[in-house]
Amino acid sequence: MTKKKQVSIFYGGFTFIVGGVNIHLQSLRDGLEQQGYQVNVYTLDSLPLFIKYLPHFAEKLINFFKFPLGFAYKGIVTKMLFKFFFGKQADYFVFEDIYLSWNTNVPSITMLHAVWSDNLQSFKVTEKQVRALKQKEIQLIECIHHPIATVSQPYLDFLQMDHFAGQVSAPIYHLPLGINQADFIDIHKIPSTNKNIIYIGALESRKNVIFLLEVFKKLFELDNSYALTIIGDGPDRNIVEQFIATHNLPVRLLGRISHLAVVDQLFKHDLYLHSSTKESFSYALLEAKLAGLTTFAYEGLQVPAEFIDIKISNYNEDQWFDAIINNNSIPGKIDSNKYTIEAMSSNTITLAG
């Protein structure tokens, strides 16, 4: 019997922390296993108990003295631990971010989902501090000798031309993410009033959920048949709950639910509002499109253009309000074949090889 080729995937977080990188990790593993690979996934959970929190300790210690460099050094410490404990030979290595990637003779690929210097919206940070982190990230990218791929063409353009301003000479490729689309087949959309709104994502400052609630408050004051469902959890949950209670809004806050339950909820809604101020791909927008919803989002997000039906130029509540109440567009179609786990896993191995 032919021995299966082995793929080692390295992820510098815990598996219980839900997010885009975690979804990619699981989807890539499923896609590779369907293609006959043996996949080994290494996360912080895989490390011995007495050191699995060491990267977080390093992050907090360094950030105390040299904020925000601790975010980069957390990945570097994780890389050292992964290399020591799990750096055995495989047929392919997949690194889930630039901070924990190392060079090896094994065919490899590093995924650049985002960089920390572009995701500091939750912190008070100076331009000098951001510049220091950018320079560290540029050094890390330049030292990687195998292919690096980011998740959308708009984000690739943004990194090269704007964020790093041409300082990165290493080639970066575009490799779209994908999901298992079987969950979206043979589900019929429930007819409704075109006033059922849904949001999926973390409850944190970068996702701008309070702004979403302010917009919904205006909609509900105009017409009390509008309803909102929020799926997700995070550090801003208490603030979100307080806003809902203070203004007595009909908002269902479902927290974290299973993926099948998320898909079921999508098909019960009409409008998807994505209030986030920063995205490089957005699984939530992709799933909303697969479910046939009309999507609203800020036009400056670096996501595939076809993910957003109604592009809004700023974060003015009145502009979002007007876009929603005046919406009479038919949800646009996307080329779903570009975003399957089969395409993603096949392209990952091809680029690594």
Tokens (6 digits) for 91:
């047929």
Q: Which of 74-88, 123-137, 189-203, 331-345 shows the lowest per-residue confidence on average (mean pLDDT)?
A: 189-203
pLDDT in tens, 248-280: 999 999 999 998 999 999 999 999 999 999 999
pLDDT of 189 higher than 70? no
For residues 12 and 96, what is the distance between their CA atoms, to the nearest angstrom? 7
pLDDT of 328 higher than 90? no
pLDDT of 187 higher than 70? no
Residue carrying the six token digits 């080329």:
335
State residue 332's pLDDT score: 86
State residue 188's pLDDT score: 63
pTM of the model: 0.93
Peptide bond before 191: cis, by omega within 30 degrees of 0? no
* Residue 80 vs residues 5, 51, 87, 97, 176: alpha-carbon distances, Å: 25, 12, 9, 14, 28
Our separate counts of H helices and E strands in the chain read: 11, 12
* Residue 139 vs residues 133, 142, 158, 169, 238: alpha-carbon distances, Å: 10, 5, 18, 11, 39
